[in-house]
Chains A and B, each alone.
Chain A
Amino acid sequence: MSEEITLKKIDTFAQRDEVTSPTETHIEAKDFSLYYGDFEAVRKVSMKIPKRKVTAMIGPSGCGKSTLLRSINRMNDLIPSTSASGEMIFDGHNIYARNIDVVTLRARVGMVFQKPNVFPKSIFDNVAYGPRLQGIKNKQELSEIVEQSLRQAAIWDEVKDRLQANALGMSGGQQQRLCIARALAIKPEILLMDEPTSALDPKATAKIEDLIGELRKQYTIIIVTHNMQQAARVSDFTAFMYEGVLIEFGNTKQLFTNPENPQTENYITGRFG
């Protein structure tokens, strides 16, 4: 039984060029821990996230995937009484150092949330929100960025005729792709995605997965998912977490076909979680 699932997953890698050699590191966590009050939700995680690759984070519910992901753009700062220890190194700097400007950090790290969270504004204004923040006022320039971002997010054809319509009138899948376009419009280096397809139907999910496949050429993508087939389909590397601890991190194919840790094997073969 378990063999079968594993084999099935191997098939999905077949179409993909394999990443074997170690690549350039984009973000590195060093003994990184994150606390909610006294509760250590992420425990001394050390990992090197490679540049321009898709890294998937898997693990049972409550294991700290979202927390770790949100640590990368310091979204956890919003929650009172969080604290971090260890280092999270991005571009040679520890982003938890005192002199880091969170706003610039977030402008370099785009984020897509589990539930599409478009603003109650027009489609155009949604995508233009980030560029406007960066001080771009020129209408022409803004339009170009909006079009380019919407094209990148593979939604241009669907919305090009109603850019001034309220974004809340779109379908869930469209909204999620709009959120991706909005994140891309700030020209980030990293794209964080927290279960971006969990609220979508299979068709919309497929579209987003295709999109990730496109985007990985330009961006470092980190995606949290509960869907192991999705992780296998879209990612180059996979991290498996359990109770806040990073159990195993490595090449996706290898992790799925030949996990080093028995806990990983149990999880991916569906014995728990």
Chain B
Amino acid sequence: MRLETRKLLDKAFSGLGLIAIAVMGIALLLILTPIVWRGSKAFVFKGTIEHRRVMLEQFDRGNPDKFTREYTEITAARAPIYKMMEDFEAETIAQISSMESQMDAKKDRAKELKTAARALKSDGKADEADQLEAEEDRLKDEAKELKSRIKEFKTARTEPYDALHEAIRELLGPMPGQRTPVLLRQQYGQTRWDRTLVKLHEVLYTEEWDYSNADAMGVLVETPRVKQFKGTRLEPFFQYLEEHIEEMMRPKTTFYWQFITDKSKDSHIFGGIWPEVLGTIYLTLGAMIFAIPMGVIAAIYLCEYAKEGRVISFLRICISTLAGVPSIVFGLFGLAFFLNTIQVSDSKSVLAGSLTLSLLVLPTIIRSSEEAILAVPRAYKEAALGLGAGRWHTVMTVILPAALPGILTGIVISMGRAAGETAPIIFTAAVSVGAPLKIWETLSQPTPALPWNIYNLCTEHEAVDEIRHVQYGMVFTLVAIVLLLNLFAILMRARISKKLRG
């Protein structure tokens, strides 16, 4: 080949290589940026007074005196709102009762007329009696009409008011003086400023879908809610709310690092993701407890003890096959074998999940350990044996230490894999909601875990929109765990091999 051609080929080759790396880097950036950006909002966000209230009341965190002071000011800021609502209620009641007394007066008058008519009849004054009866009928009809008007008025007032009341409760929390709701999520207003603005919008506008055009998709129509309360005491309510919302919520930049270590309250509406994080840690470490000894011993056996033959070739094929089995199949196997057949626990449990995950990562650990062991120079082995070391000693004192960087790399990469796998734990270990487990409970109890709960929150949570930040926070945490593990593997590898090189 001519020199120019060779040079051209070399250049093309390195160019293509660089492009591939760049594409990979961009893809990684595109994936990671939103995860990091949106995930970080679970930790750093504008928290409202309600957030601080949750922290104080549910997690015993923060300065009670300072909070009380702040809360007094906020109550004052909110007072006009509630005053207007009370006024509105009172006004409505007054209007209804005045209408009712009108109706009652008419009814009473009708009754009087009836008795009067009866008396006239018995006196034989039929003409006058007829007149009175006609008057009575008119009054009765009027009373009836009034009654239906009252009914109309009531629905016209209460239905929008109930909706408004509910929307305000979601925004600010329950009205003062009301009975505490049972559900925790109804006991507090919006804890995050971004959600506050969304809820504020829901208070200010009603949403309706317009399906009048049958050929097109429905159209969302937003009408200002104030229209429903024209001419009532609530007319200025909406403007006031919009103008004073910051005083009522006091958004402050909040650094909530305890998101990782807090329990979740009322299925992730409040609090953090500690049960999931802990569950992931348990499952990963559990998988390693089983997979590391099995994998490393198997690798040592295959490299140092096994005599090449059919059985060993078959074993190797099995290991390769195991590496290619889809993870959902491992999950089903774990259910069928660990839970139903040998019954390691009565229900799903961390133990069963760890065992299943350990099978999943076993081939990786065996392979990487084997490679690391085979990469140990033969000279080391000969030197040890030549000095009178047995096989066991050679493995323990020379081969394993030299192979350690490779073995550890394999282990840490498997840890990342085990931490992130969803399918194997669906049937064997994961539940959507749960408390952080004590270490001995892992033998019998299922646990929430990051990968499963990320999926679960997206698909099955009853208030998906309320907790997007939790989802992103979980994804961010999981990705961070996996990346940190890999980074750790790289650093450790570099350190140990530097030590070995001298």
Contacts and interface: CB of A to CB of B under 8 A. Distances in A.
Contact of A78 (B307, B385, B397): B385
A183 B387 contact: yes
Interface string A160-185: 00000111110000000001001100
Interface string B378-420: 0111111111111001000110011000000000000000000
A115 B390 contact: no
Contacts of A179: 383
B179 interface: no
Interface stretch (A3-11, A126-134, A224-232, A235-243): A126-134
A106 B386 contact: yes
Interface of A: 73, 75, 78, 80, 103-104, 106-108, 110-111, 113, 115, 117-121, 129-130, 133-134, 165-169, 179, 182-183, 186
Tell me if B's interface is mostly helix, strand, loop or mixed. Answer: helix
A111 B381 CA distance: 13
Interface size class of B (residues with CB under 8 A): 20 to 34
A116 to B, nearest CB: 9
Given A119-B398, A120-B402, A133-B393, A113 B383 contact: yes
Given A80-B308, A166-B502, A168-B501, A75 B385 contact: yes
B191 to A, nearest CB: 56
A103 B388 contact: yes
A179 B382 CA distance: 12
Given A168-B502, A169-B502, A106 B388 contact: yes
Nearest to B389: A133
Contact of A103 (B308, B383, B390, B499): B390
A169 B498 CA distance: 12
A80 B390 CA distance: 17
Contacts, number: 74
A111 B386 contact: yes
Contact of A110 (B380, B386, B390, B502): B386
Interface string B110-149: 0000000000000000000000000000000000000000
Contacts of B502: 120, 165-169
Task: Please provide the 8 A-B residue pairs with the shortest distance between their CB atoms, ordered closest to farther.
Answer: A107-B388, A166-B502, A168-B502, A117-B379, A111-B386, A120-B500, A130-B387, A169-B502
Contacts of A117: 377, 379-380, 382-383
B294 to A, nearest CB: 26
B324 to A, nearest CB: 29
B382 A113 contact: yes
Contact of B387 (A80, A129, A165, A166): A129
B213 to A, nearest CB: 79
A8 B485 CA distance: 67
Given A134-B388, A183-B387, A129 B308 contact: no
Contacts of A75: 382, 385-386
21 contacts: A78-B381, A103-B389, A106-B388, A107-B388, A111-B382, A117-B379, A119-B380, A120-B402, A120-B500, A120-B501, A129-B387, A129-B397, A130-B387, A130-B388, A133-B389, A134-B388, A166-B502, A179-B383, A182-B383, A182-B387, A183-B386
A73 B380 contact: no
Given A120-B502, A166-B499, A168-B502, 14 more contacts: A75-B382, A75-B385, A103-B388, A103-B389, A106-B385, A113-B379, A113-B382, A117-B382, A119-B383, A120-B500, A129-B387, A129-B397, A133-B387, A183-B387
B66 to A, nearest CB: 58
B291 to A, nearest CB: 27
Nearest to B386: A111
Residue of A75, A103, A113, A186 with most chain B CB atoms under a 10 A cut-off: A103
Contacts of B307: 80
Contacts of A133: 387-389, 393
Contacts of B397: 129
A257 to B, nearest CB: 35
B300 to A, nearest CB: 16
Contacts of B499: 120, 166
A134 B387 CA distance: 10
Interface in B453-502: 499-502
